[in-house]
Structure 1
Amino acid sequence: SVDFRDDGGDPSVSLQSMRALDQAGVVGIVGFLQDDDFLAAADARARPVVLVSPTARSADRAGAAAYSLEGSDPGAAEAVARYAASRAYQRIAMVYPQTPNAEAEADAFELIAERLGMPVVGRFGYEAGATFFEPQISAALNALRSEELDRLALAPNDTLHMEELEPTALFMPIPPEDVEFLAPQIIHFGLDTLAVEILGTSGWTDPQILTSVEARLTTGVIATAPVVSERALEGQARFRDAYESRYQRSLVGATASVGYDAALLLLEALRAGRIEPDEVRESFESLEGISGATGVFSVVRGRVVRDTEVVRIEDQMAVPIERISLGSKNGRR
């Protein structure tokens, strides 16, 4: 059976509901959208009952058996690092918020970069929620280009000789809400002028960000996005059809979809009928290739992750790198 509780957005009610559900012996809980609520709920558990949030970003700090669909994805950062190595960047700098998710992705990127011989010349963090990034961008730019410009006797605005510069990149594993503030400042402070390529993760390809941020500010960014496979499309269509049939209205936005996916993963873990907390956790952490409404999910090293691929943003669209490479070979680009 399924027990629905509405906390009305009141954290104190959330905790009361959490304790009541825990005492009632529930086998899993879906909910707690905000980071603080999710952390408090995880801490309030008397038993290690599985807790799944659709949107909280604090799963890495919530302890055992606490998961989120919007947590960090070190694997995606590793994939971007491998792409960067294939481009033979001579130096990499990083700019990111001082949050556990961003730091986990930065750590994963740097580990692969070091293994593949790409030096990371600086990591520049900013306070979460910031909207002005000149100190971090300027420091990153200096780390990437200042010595080289001096050696070549070039001025920062000497665009006629940019082809002489070595390939470098700035890795920015930032959340969607930061892209709209950071992207214009990247242009304003001259990273494009100095031919510094921008790398990121899934925050850059959030559907709302792709459509709301000017195309000129994100075109050319290399990032990650959910794989658009036949299985992924089937999962999207299945939920959309069920939602629109049930509610007799069009599915708009991703809120309902991500909530559905959180519940789907928990139900898949319960499919085997094992209901003790440790058993549910074991089943949950063995999930692989689950087709949901917002992607194909697996649980890797205790994190819920979507199948992702490296993409290049082109005119507000996330285009897989493999497709770009194929087009180039066929003379279409």
Structure 2
Amino acid sequence: MENKDSEAEIHPLKAEDVKAQENHDSSVERRIVIKQSSRLSRLSRWRTAAFFVSLFLCLIIVFAFSFIIPCPERPVSERTWFRNYDNAVAYRFLAIEDVNEDKVQDVVFAFKASNSSSSFNSSCVDEGLPSPCAFVAAVSGTNGRALWERPVAEEIEWMECGIKQLGGSEAPGCLVMGKPVSLTAVDLQTGEVRWRQSSDFGANFTVLTPVSVIPDVDSDGVQDLMIFIATGDKIKTFIHSGKSGDQIGAAGSLNVGGKARYVRLNLDSASYFLFYTENSLYAYSLKELHSAATGMDIKLPSLGQDPQWEKSIDRSTHRLPLVRCE
């Protein structure tokens, strides 16, 4: 203690410097604490302001959707509905498809009349057809409201709906075979005619249904169609472009012994068409049918041939052996 006092007496300026340094450090610490508390206070005010602004915006949105912006009117779903077509004759065709994309199956049908129903102002003359003519129509499955009606041909021989990419459209379509012989592609959602092509299928023919959708063989980016026409004991094959309806190549001819029907068998790398009669079974690969119609042998993954099936098919008659069950 005496040493410290004596040292202070000897170095009075040094002691004063130490005290001044201590006071300065204390002042700096107080300023730092004040700045930190000021920043925290300012940050707290910003958070409070952001919270109230967000709350105010949420209230505005809720108020707008609740009272200002009207809710879309949904069609009332009826348990049963009835729609009458005066002076019209129905064809034996009916399809169930979701036409207006409301997740409810709608009804597509065909009828013959001079004019459309009162819901649409269209007539046979609008499409250059004699009156009366065949109309294709779609009505809502929810309440029976008419969605569209379109005159397509003088008479309808056959019709199939739900064909994807028909006419190059993203929406599926309906393919109508009319009389005189013509093929018409109709958009399923709008009823618009995508394309119409005349065809020569011969006389007294029968269409083997359903139409077969095959891979794109004409390189237009849209899958194509294969149609089988039966005339007596022969079956003619026609390939048409799914995008334009143009015929691809020439008609092929298959010999079968009697009235035939067919089923399509899709394997991993090949497709086969099996034509069956009362006593016989015939098999043709898609590759062979395409080559016979176009005279070309193109390389596509789905236009292959299965070795096991090729061994079983008689190359001269295209018959498959039948196993008898006793």
- The structure carrying a bigger strand percent of its residues is 2
Q: Higher relative contact order by CA 8 Å / sep ≥ 6: 1 or 2?
A: 1
Larger radius of gyration: 2
**Could you tell me the TM-score, scaled by structure 1's length?**
0.20
- The structure carrying a bigger helix percent of its residues is 1
